Chains A and B, each alone.
Chain A
C-alpha cells in the first residue's frame, strides 16, 4: 500500500501509523452522547472512509486519507491541518 504524503510524495505504508476514522471533536460542552460517539462509535462502510494516518517515519504530518475499504484505493490525501476536524476543540 502506498500513501501519497502531500509533503513527501508517495511512500510505503510502513512509514505511516494508523489512528482510525477522521472525526470532528465535539465541543467541550457537548452532550455525553456526542462524546460517546466520538470516542467509541465507528461506521464500518463498504466504500470511501476518511481516516487519519500519521507519517511517523517521515515528516511527522497527520494526514486525512480517504480510502475505499472495498478495494483499498486511496481517493484523497490532505494534511489534517487543512481540515475542520478540530472545529469543536
Chain B
C-alpha cells in the first residue's frame, strides 16, 4: 500500500506492468517488488521443495523468495529477483514453480508430506529398488522441486564483455563508498565506483537520517554531482562485483538492458542485456554494506514476514508500507528504527517484540521485552503472530512482521582468495580479516562498522591510505561530515525454541530441524551439513541463512560459532548469465573460421568443406553426374596419377628463419642435419619432443645462406612455433637468428602429376630449365612479374611442385591453375584425394604421429643423426623406446572380398581370441585406392617390420567390421619413388 507523499519516487511517471496476467500500475524507478507491495500483492512465489506460499523477504539482491520469470520464448528470463528487477512499461512477470497458479498450487501437497522430506530424504526414502532411482524417483523429484524453467530455445539476447582499469575500485556506493570515492577523486586518483543498485546511496536510500546537518538524500545528491564533475571518477550503476581474482582482477556484472523493454533494446541502441566486466585495479575499497539476517521461528516464512531493514527501505525509499498492522520482532537496537519510521509515517504498529530484557524503551510505542515470536498463522498472507513472554503466549493480529536477527557484514568478496573471516563476539557477526585480499580494504558495514559516521570515516581513511600508496600526495585534512554514530547493540537470538518447522534457508526449504538432524546423523562439519541439508546452495548462496544455520549447528554440536567455522565463499556474488560470461564466444566467436586463399573458388565449385583445426579446406570438388563423394575422390586421385591435380596447401605452417645461426637451430630441432643442405634444396625433417617421441614432420627449404623456410603440419603450426621460440630464447639465447610465422603471407598450391611440369612451363615467366629442377629443388620464380617461390616436393608420389605467391594473389592463381590443369585433363583435388594419395605412398600425418610413436616406430630410425645433439635424442635412446617388440608402421591390404576397413580398428592374430590382452596393434588411416581397386590402410603392429606377409585380423566392434588382412610394407605404390623423382 502506498503512503501519500512518502518516498523518494513520489511524482514519478506511472508505469504499466502485469503480474500473473493481472494489469497493474507502478512507478518509474522502482523495483518490481516495491510495485507489487504497493499493489498489496504479497503472495509472489512458491518455495523450492514444499511449495509453501512465499512473499518478498528483502529489498536487495540477496532475495531468496521472490523469484519470478520475465518474458517468454527465446528471451524468457527465469529466476529474476523481484527486488532488483526495475519496472518498465509493459513488463510481464509471472510466478514460477507452481501449477496451475501461485494461488492454487497442487504441488503444495509436498508440504503435507514434509515429515518424509527432511534433510537427506532422497538418500533414504528412494533407495530401493535401485533401478527406480533413474527412471522414476529422480525425474519425479526434479519435476516437483525447482525454480523457473528455461524456454528451451536459443537465447536471442545480446551480451557483451568489457575490460576496465583503474587506480582505485570502490565496491558499493553507500556512505562509506561515496566518501572513499570523493576523497580519492578529489586528489586526482583514477576511481571506478561500482554500485549494484540503480542509484548511489546504499542504506542511506532506505533511512531517514541527517548528514552534515541536512537530510542524507540532499548530502547524497551533492556528493553525486561532485563525483560526476570529476573527470577522473567513473560511476557504474547496476553493476555488481561478482568475484575477486589474483593480482587485483575483479569480475563485475553490469545489468545493461534488464530495465528496458525488449523492443527498445532490439531496435534502439542494440544494447546488450548484460555486460561482464573484467576490471584490473591497483587498489580496492570494499564498501559492500551488510545483509540483515532472519530469525528462525515456527512458520517464519509466510508472505508478510520481512526483514526489518527491508520494511524500512520500502517505506522510506518507495513510500510503500508492506502492511497496515505491522509488528516488529528483533534482538538489536537497529531494528527499532523500523518501528520509529513506521510510526512517523502513520502506519499502525501493533507490537514491538524484543528478545532482550534490556531492550531500549520508546516514547512512541510500547516494547515487549524479553519476548519472542513463536508462531504465525495465515495461509497466503500473514494474519497473526503468537508471542511468548513471561506472561505466557498471546496472539496479535498483524499482516506484516518485520524481523531482524542482526546484520551480517557482506564480506563475501574478501574470502574469494581463500581467506576465512573472523568472528566478532560483540557484533555476533563475522568480519573480514585484514589483508584477506592484497590491495583490498574493507570499510563501513562490511567491516562490521555499522554507524553512518563509522562508514564515512572509514571510507575517507581508506582512501587517504590508498592515495599515499599511489603517491598522490598526503591529504592534509579530510572534511568528515557529521552523521549518526549509534552503538550497535545486539544479543544472541538465532532460533526460537519450540515445535514445528522454523525456516533458516527460505529458498531451499531448510529448517532448524534439518540442521539438527544432520548433526544427529553425524554430518557435524559445516561443509557436510551444508551438503546434507542443501542449506546455502540456492541462488542466494546462503546470504540470508549461513550464519544462523551454523549458529544452530554450533549449538547442537556443543561448539562455539568460530569453532564451527564457515563454508567457503566462491564467485559469483550474484547470479551471472552464462551468456554474459561467454559474451563474444557464442557460435563462430567460440571457434573462429580460417579460410584458405582458394576458399571462394572452392565454394563456387560446390566443394564440400572439412574442418582442420580452425581451417576450412575443400574435401572434394564434385562434378555433375557424381552421386557420392567417393566418385569425386576417385576421379581426383586418378587425375593426379594420370595428368595433373591442383590442391591448396596454404594451411601448412610456414616459419621463416633467418640469421647466421639458423642452421644451428635446424640441426638442433630436427633429428637429421640441415646445415649440410645446399642452397636451393629442400629436405624432409623429423622433430621429436624432449621425451623422445615424434612431435611433427615437414619439409624445410634453404633459400639462402642464412635463410630457411620451414613447413609444419597444419595442426602443429602454433606448437612448433612456440617450440622454436623456446629453443632460441631459453636453451640457446646466444644464437643469432629471427623467427617469423609467415603461414598467412603465402598462398601455396600443390601441382601434382605427370603433367605438372608442362603446366608450370606454360605458366611461369621463365620455363623450368631442364636439369635445374630435380626432386627437392627450390627457388625463386616469377609469374606475370610477381615474385614467388617454387618447391619441387611431393606428398602424392608424383612429380609435383608447390608454388607460393603472396596470399593476395591466391584466388586468381588458383583459378588460373585450375583452368590450365583442366585443359590438361586434370583439375582440383581436395583433402579426401590428398589423403588416399599419401596413404598409397605410406606418407605419415598426425593420424600416425599421434604422440605415442617414435622415429623407429615409423621406420625412420635412419633419420636420427649420430653426429650431433638434438631435441629428444637422449630420451629416444631409452630401452623402452628402442625395444624391438614395439608397434611399428605397416600397410594393410584386405584378403578376399572385403568392402570396408576402418581407422581405429584393432589388430589381432587370426587364431587368437579377440580380447584386449591379445591386442596386436591398431589402424590409423584407411582409404580406397582406385588404382589398386581395393581398400588400403596404415597402422601400427607389434614387431610389424618383421611380420610383412603375415595375415592379421582387423576388428572394429563399434562399426561392426571384422576383416582378414595381409601385412604389407607401408608403401602401396611406386616403392622406389621413380615417379616423383622422374
Contact = CB atoms under 8 A, between A and B. Distances in A.
Contacts, number: 72
Given A17-B722, A54-B725, A56-B722, A81 B874 contact: no
B732 A35 contact: no
Interface stretch (B244-252, B269-277, B320-328): B244-252
A73 to B, nearest CB: 7
B347 interface: no
Interface in A45-75: 52, 54, 56, 60-62, 71-74
A71 B874 CA distance: 37
A41 interface: no
Contacts of A38: 690
Contact of A54 (B691, B726, B873): B726
A18 to B, nearest CB: 11
B400 interface: no
- Interface size bracket, A side: 20 to 34
B722 A86 contact: no
B730 interface: yes
A21 interface: no
Given A2-B280, A17-B722, A32-B878, A74 B247 contact: yes
Interface string A8-38: 0010100001010000011010101001001
Interface in B676-707: 690-691
A54 to B, nearest CB: 6
Contacts of B668: 89
Chief secondary structure at chain B's binding surface: helix
A32 B249 CA distance: 44
A74 B247 CA distance: 9
B730 A52 contact: yes
Nearest to A81: B733
Contact of A73 (B438, B690, B878): B438
Contacts of A56: 718, 722
Contacts of A40: 691
A2 B731 contact: no
B910 to A, nearest CB: 39
Contact of B729 (A12, A25, A62): A62
B611 interface: no
A1 B731 contact: no
Contacts of B577: none
A32 B880 CA distance: 13
Contacts of B722: 17, 54, 56
A13 B714 CA distance: 26
A9 B902 CA distance: 52
Given A30-B874, A32-B878, A1 B246 contact: yes
A67 to B, nearest CB: 10
A19 to B, nearest CB: 7
Contacts of B725: 54, 60, 62
Contacts of B878: 32
A60 B726 CA distance: 10
B247 A62 contact: no
B638 interface: no
B524 interface: no
B138 interface: no
A71 to B, nearest CB: 8
A26 B874 contact: yes
B293 interface: no
A89 B729 contact: no
A39 B875 contact: yes
B305 to A, nearest CB: 43
A31 B668 CA distance: 20
Contacts of A39: 690-691, 875
B550 to A, nearest CB: 26
Contact of B246 (A61, A72, A81): A72
Contacts of A30: 874
B873 A86 contact: no
A35 B875 contact: yes
B94 interface: no
Contacts of B718: 56
Contacts of B731: 25, 85-86, 89
Interface in B415-461: 417, 438
6 contacts: A1-B247, A62-B725, A73-B438, A79-B729, A81-B733, A86-B731
Counting from the closest, the 9 A-B pairs by CB-CB distance are A81-B733, A86-B731, A2-B247, A28-B869, A89-B731, A1-B246, A80-B730, A62-B729, A35-B874
Given A1-B247, A25-B690, A39-B691, 11 more contacts: A1-B245, A38-B690, A39-B875, A52-B726, A54-B725, A56-B722, A62-B730, A73-B438, A83-B730, A85-B730, A86-B731
Interface of A: 1-2, 10, 12, 17, 19, 25-26, 28, 30, 32, 35, 38-40, 52, 54, 56, 60-62, 71-74, 79-83, 85-86, 89
Interface of B: 245-249, 278, 280, 417, 438, 668, 690-691, 718, 722, 725-727, 729-733, 869, 873-875, 878
